[in-house]
Every structure is written in structure tokens, then in C-alpha cells.
Structure 1
Amino acid sequence: MAYIFAQGSKKCSNLLFLLRSNITSPYSCSRSSSVSSVTLAEKEANIKKSILISQSKDIYTNLALEDWLYKNYDFTKQHVLLVWRNSPCVVVGRHQNPWLEASAEYLLNYEVSVARRNSGGGAVYHDPGNVNFTFFTNKEMYNRRNNLEIISRALYREWGISADINTREDIVIKKNYKVSGTASKLGSKNAYHHCTLMVDVDRCQLSQALKKNIVGVDTNATKSIPSPVLNLNDVNSSVTVEKLLGAVGWEYLRTTPLTMQDAGHDFISQQNGFQLVNPTEGWFPGVEKLRNEFASWDWRFGKTPDFQVTRKFYIPEELKITITVNKGIIENVTLKVPQKLILAHGFNGNASVITNLKGQQFSVAAIRYLEKSVINLEKSYREASEELNFESAFVANESGFFLKEMSKSSG
């Protein structure tokens, strides 16, 4: 099915007028008292639908565009479907730990970006073979299952693909193969539901990017639930990103916004149709500032819920070193001294490690640094005489950390 994009300066001007005329303000938002006085049919007839297609493939720009619309638009009488795609990236949920959800080294080596979105849910991998859909409504009309039904209808209408919506509101095919993950954000007035749809994603890179390499983490951060995945073009080779965009777009436009009826082509002709948008300052004033915020370290990593990473070493008894991280910054490094060393040398049970890691941004390199330090400590221990002063072995450690409050007890 073919579809047409509105382009050119005149059309762009029309869209900008449409956007600006629906900017929220204390004086333009609809009041609930007036809404309740109209029938459902009248209410539905007053709602128009638009599809905006981002021309950017930068994850931070697209997240900024999504946030701009959410914060600035009045969706009472104008529902919007935003369609966007990204270059390779991993996007974690609002309350997740990116170090726990993805392979930091792989992402760095293969130049895969890391982003944090405003909605909850689990971590996802994006590349140009994945299409993202964001359904905007006001809070009152939010219904993400209806949105997923539109996508399912489109898949069946265009390609005969039977898709189900599971209890977690993911779209699955062949009973348990996930092709779409879902998340949402609800505010006092507006809401959005966004979801992925895998068409031709590099599943090998997806698997490597989302591989969890860090163990021994204690955190309350939301953890992703792994699921088997499948590309739509593995089910039907004729599915392409471009065709999918058209199929879902037309299904969205022909479906009534509240009663979910298939109103056909006549209804489509009454809607605002498709529009390519360029997420720049000229179109969306303030979007660049939002983009910088989404790309910042403070947002991507600093918003990580507090966590601790513990490592065990044997030199020759078990030592436990724990890194405490607050807002992405290493707050403390502690070491638990084995019981035998406590009894033999009168040490306290726990010691605070003095290291230049404190106050630094957490990274996998920090764990490697401590691992190297302990290896050097083990070397010092083995090279010492039978009358080893265990405390001095820490102080002499060449990797630059030692212990305080580890003096022998007076008793």
C-alpha cells in the first residue's frame, strides 16, 4: 500500500501552525466540565489524527522530540502518532541500571550509543531495522492496548500475520516470540505510549549489546525480563520498514480514536495524514536543549538508582570488596576482612579502602582497577615472609589503594 508524505515549505508551514495552535497553556486546555457535556460520538468527531515521521536517526534527538510534544502539545482534539528510527543504540528504562542491562565494553567497541528514556520498562536495542511508534493522547484517552490492536490489525490486513498481545502488553507471534516491546508515560494532562516493532533488526548485535556481564550487583533498579525475539521479515519476507510504516499509518488513520471502529477511507480523508518533520529549533523551539539533556552523562548514567558491586578474592582467605555507587558516582569502597585474619591479627571486620576511585564516575574500568589492585596484593602476600605484617601488604600495594582503620585492636 502506497502512502504520501506532505512536503515543501507550504506544508511545513501548515504543520507548524497546527503544532503551535495546539500548544498547551493555562488558557487553552479543555476543561473537564465542558467535556462531560458532549456525547461520545461528538467527542470522537472533534478529534483529528496526525502522523509525524522524524527525519532524524539520532536517539537523543528523537527522545527530545518525543518529550517536546509531550510537554508542549494539547492532545484533547488532536491525536498524534510519532514514527521514528535510530542508528544502533541501547535504550534503558527510566529506573534501570545501564551497566547491568548492557555490555558496556561491546557498546564502546562497536560505537553503539546508550540512552535513557523517560518511560519505565526494560532495556531495548534499536537499529534502522526497528521502527518506533509513539501514540500521544491526553491522559483521559490513554489506552495502550488499543494502540497495540491497531498494529496487530495492520500486520494481519497487510501480510496475514497473526499477532497476539500478551499479559505484559508485548506483541508476540508464534505464541511467545516477541516482535514489540512497550512502555508509557502518564502526566497530569498528557500521556504517551511507545513501542518498538522489529522488522529487520541485527539480532546478533542485539544479543551482544544486551548481554549482561556484571555480576554481584545489589540494586533496586528495574531489571529487564529476557524474551525470545523474532523479526517480522523472518515470518514474511515481504515485510519492509517502509511498507510497515505505511500499513500501520493507514490503520491508525482509519480507526476511530475512542470506539476503535474501522471507519475506512472516508474517515482517512478527514484526518491530517502523514508529515515528515525535522526535529530542529526552527520547527520545535527548545528541542536542542532537551536533546543535550538526554545526551548528557548526568541523565544517561547519573540517574541510575543507587547500587553496590561486590567482588570476592582469595589471598589466601576470601576477601570481599564492595563499591557503593550513588547517582553514578563512586561513593565508597569497602573491604570485608576474613574471620581468620580478624582472629590472627586483631583487625576490624570491615575496612574502608582509600582509593582515587572515590568521587569518580563509575565504569567497568573501576572494577578492573580494583581487580588489578587485589592481584598485586596477592603477589605482595605471597612474596612476604612467614612473619608477614598483613597490614603492610595493603599499604605497599603498587596499584594505589590501601586501607584505613585497619590497625590492630588494643585488646
Structure 2
Amino acid sequence: MIFIENEGNTNPQLNLALEEFALRNFSAENDYLLFYINEPSIIIGRNQNTLEEINHEYVEKNNIHVVRRVSGGGAVYHDFGNLNFSFITNHDVKSLNNFKKFTAPVIKVLNTLGLDAELKGRNDIQVDEKKISGTAQFSTGKRMVSHGTLLFDTDLGEVVNALNVKMSKIESKGHKSVRSRVANISEFLKKPLKIEEFRQLLLEGLYEESEPFESYHLTPEEWKAVHQLKEEKYDTWDWNYGRSPKFNIQRSKRFTVGEIDLRIFVEKGHIKDFKIYGDFFGKEPVENLEKLLEGARYEKEDISELLKDIEIQEYFGDIPKIDFIELVYGADEF
């Protein structure tokens, strides 16, 4: 395992660019670990509709960064009290969506600090039924990143202020509000720690779980490439916000794999535009499904025929194909 030094950078666009650069360019002969702390920011899941996930007026007024990541899942709030970790490894079918494997060493370290931490639900680490961490994954097909947030001493009031969390998500977790279902790790510690001290303890604990770590500092040429990726992708409106499609049909449903939210524009009986949003995790890009269905007749038989050879689980996780078809098609008038 090689530990990547991010040199204390706190810009979320730069840190996400560093993560993706390492994922796509560093040697497949090694596994890598990356830690970073971000300035106040909202990190949007790959398949989410940004404008519907954030409190736009509050975000603008308070100069909060809004950045989309490459992995699926839901939007999260970062600030200087939030420690982020990222494991970069070779792609493994058994490891994809296996959050237990990658959270286990983190949970073990938390346990040594006196926290009764455990993995709950799809991808959350909890203590006393309170979420202290969320995790997500992304695979290129050859390499994969498994990353997560650790709420150490985050301003939880800002989580509520900056995010528009849908009631369906809150209700599915059996809580009345966002604030009631999240907590900071610092609340459970027997003695106070600064986040820098916590970061060091976590790193030392992870050392014990693996072969001796080696630290790596990027070369000037590599940093130049990271900054280029930041400018060309993570700084752009197209990546972070994207287009808001014209639609006259909206269908959404929360499955065990997460919420799937469809925006469909039907004109003269044909699908002219099709957009898929949600906080699900999948291996394949949903853009492939969107393109496949655009131009099709808005008829259940036609949609079923187009999807007959498609492995829906590759896009959303474990849901039956018929459930997706029934979500796409309905009796709406257009």
C-alpha cells in the first residue's frame, strides 16, 4: 500500500482531480491510500441532479464549493472537520459494491478509539444508530476507487442548511430529520482530539492492517496534469451541474439500491429526451441507457424489447429489470 501525500491541499476540485488522476494513471502493481480535507463544499454523486440536491441560494451566499465526483451515491457536505479517505485498487467484481471489505480496516481503527462503529445499510458507518461516515465506489473496469467521508467535527448545522435532502431518503432510514441521523466522531471519543491527530491515528491504524506503507509525493509533471484535469473537468459548470432536461414525465422510486429518478420528454408518442438521476451505485454509465431509449416509442413493449439484452444490475445494482421497465412506462398523458 502506498500513501499519496496531497500536500495539505483543501480545494475540493483539486483533491477530486488528484484522486481521479491517481486512479487512472498510477501503477496497477500497487494499491494506494489517499487522505484529504476539503474547504466547505457539497460533493455531488455522479448521477444526481445538482440543482435539486443543494440549497442554491444558501450555497451561493456562503461561497460553498459544489463539485461532482465520479462515483455514485448521494450528496455529502464537507468542511474542515471532515476527513476523507480513498482506497485505489485493481478492479475486482467481488469487491465492487462490497463496502464491508473497504470499511473494515477503518471500522477496526474506530473500535480501538472506543467507538462501537459498524457498517449499516448500503454504505454507512454508524455509531449508536447515528451515521458518522458514508462511502461510495467507482470502477474504470481495470482500477477502482473506494472512498468515504468521516464526520469528525463537522458543522452539522451546515449539512442541513446546504443540502436539500429528500423526504423519501429520510423516511427510508426511519429518522425524522438529517440532523437526527448524523453525528460527529468527536462526540464519542473518551478524550478530545484534533482532526490532525485523528488523521495520524487512523493512518497508523491502517498501517497495522497492511504491509508497511510507503509515502509518495507527486512530481511537478504529475501535479501539472492534476491541475489540468481540475481545470478541464472539475472546475466546469458542465461537469458539476450539467444540463437540466426538458421533461413532461417524472417517475421516481426508492429501491433498496437507492433512489432512481427519471425525467422523460415524450413528444408525438416518442421519447425525445431521457435522463436518469439518483443515488444508486452501478458499474456502467447510465448515459448508455439514456441514449438507448431516446427515439423509442413510449410503449411498454418497445421499451422491453430495447432492454431485453441489457443487464440492468450493471447500471443500478440488484433490481429486477421488470421493476425498471415499470418505472419507465406508465399511463401519463403527454
Please report the TM-score for the alignment, with normalisation by the length of structure 1.
0.54
Residues 129-157 of structure 1: CA deviation (Å, up to 9, x unaligned): 00110101101384542221111111122
Q: Is the 8 A contact 1:163 1:173 kept in 2?
A: yes
Q: Which residue, 157, 163, 173 being the options, matches 1:204? A: 157
Q: Which residue, 206, 230, 238 being the options, matches 1:298? A: 238
Deviation at 1:165, TM superposition (A): 0.3
Residues 278-332 of structure 1: CA deviation (Å, up to 9, x unaligned): 6x85343421221011110111111x5736499xxxxxxxxxxxxx8x799xxxx
In 2, the alpha carbon distance for the partners of 1:136 and 1:53 equals: 14
In 2, the alpha carbon distance for the partners of 1:202 and 1:281 equals: 35
Structure 1 residues 129 and 308 mapped into 2: Cα distance closer, same or farther (>3 Å)? farther
Residue 118 (str. 1) matches residue 70 (str. 2) = yes
Query: What is aligned with 2:200?
Result: 246
Query: What is aligned with 1:155?
Result: 110
Structure 2: gaps spanning 5 or more residues: 250-264, 266-272, 276-334
SS in 1 for 2:66: strand
Residues 338-381 of structure 1: CA deviation (Å, up to 9, x unaligned): xxxxxxxxxxxxxxxxxxxxxxxxxxxxxxxxxxxxxxxxxxxx
Structure 1 residues 309 and 161 mapped into 2: Cα distance closer, same or farther (>3 Å)? farther
Structure 1 residues 308 and 110 mapped into 2: Cα distance closer, same or farther (>3 Å)? farther
Residue 289 (str. 1) matches residue 228 (str. 2) = yes
Q: Which residue, 129, 142, 150 being the options, matches 1:189? A: 142
Q: What's the C-alpha RMSD, in Å, of the aligned pairs?
A: 3.0
Amino acid at match of 2:162: A
Query: What is aligned with 1:318?
Result: none
SS in 2 for 1:137: strand
Query: What is aligned with 2:209?
Result: 255
Residues 153-189 of structure 1: CA deviation (Å, up to 9, x unaligned): 11122x2111010131210000x21000111001221
Q: Is the 8 A contact 1:184 1:191 kept in 2?
A: yes
SS in 1 for 2:72: coil
In 1, the alpha carbon distance for the partners of 2:220 and 2:238 equals: 23
Q: Which residue, 38, 53, 59 being the options, matches 1:107? A: 59
SS in 2 for 1:284: helix
Deviation at 1:198, TM superposition (A): 0.5
Q: Is the 8 A contact 1:301 1:327 kept in 2?
A: no
Deviation at 1:212, TM superposition (A): 5.3
Q: How does 1:35-114 map to 2 (within 5 A)?
A: 49-54=1-6, 55-76=8-29, 78-114=30-66
Q: How does 1:328-343 map to 2 (within 5 A)?
A: none
Structure 1 residues 309 and 164 mapped into 2: Cα distance closer, same or farther (>3 Å)? farther
Amino acid at match of 2:103: L
Structure 1 residues 307 and 90 mapped into 2: Cα distance closer, same or farther (>3 Å)? farther
Structure 1: gaps spanning 5 or more residues: 1-48, 216-223, 257-266, 311-323, 329-411
Q: Is the 8 A contact 1:281 1:288 kept in 2?
A: no
Structure 1 residues 309 and 209 mapped into 2: Cα distance closer, same or farther (>3 Å)? farther
Amino acid at match of 1:294: Y
Deviation at 1:98, TM superposition (A): 1.1
Deviation at 1:249, TM superposition (A): 1.2
SS in 2 for 1:125: strand
What percentage of aligned pairs have identical amino acids?
A: 28
Query: What is aligned with 2:330?
Result: none
Please report the TM-score for the alignment, with normalisation by the length of structure 2.
0.65
Judge which range, 191-200 or 204-213, deviates more.
204-213
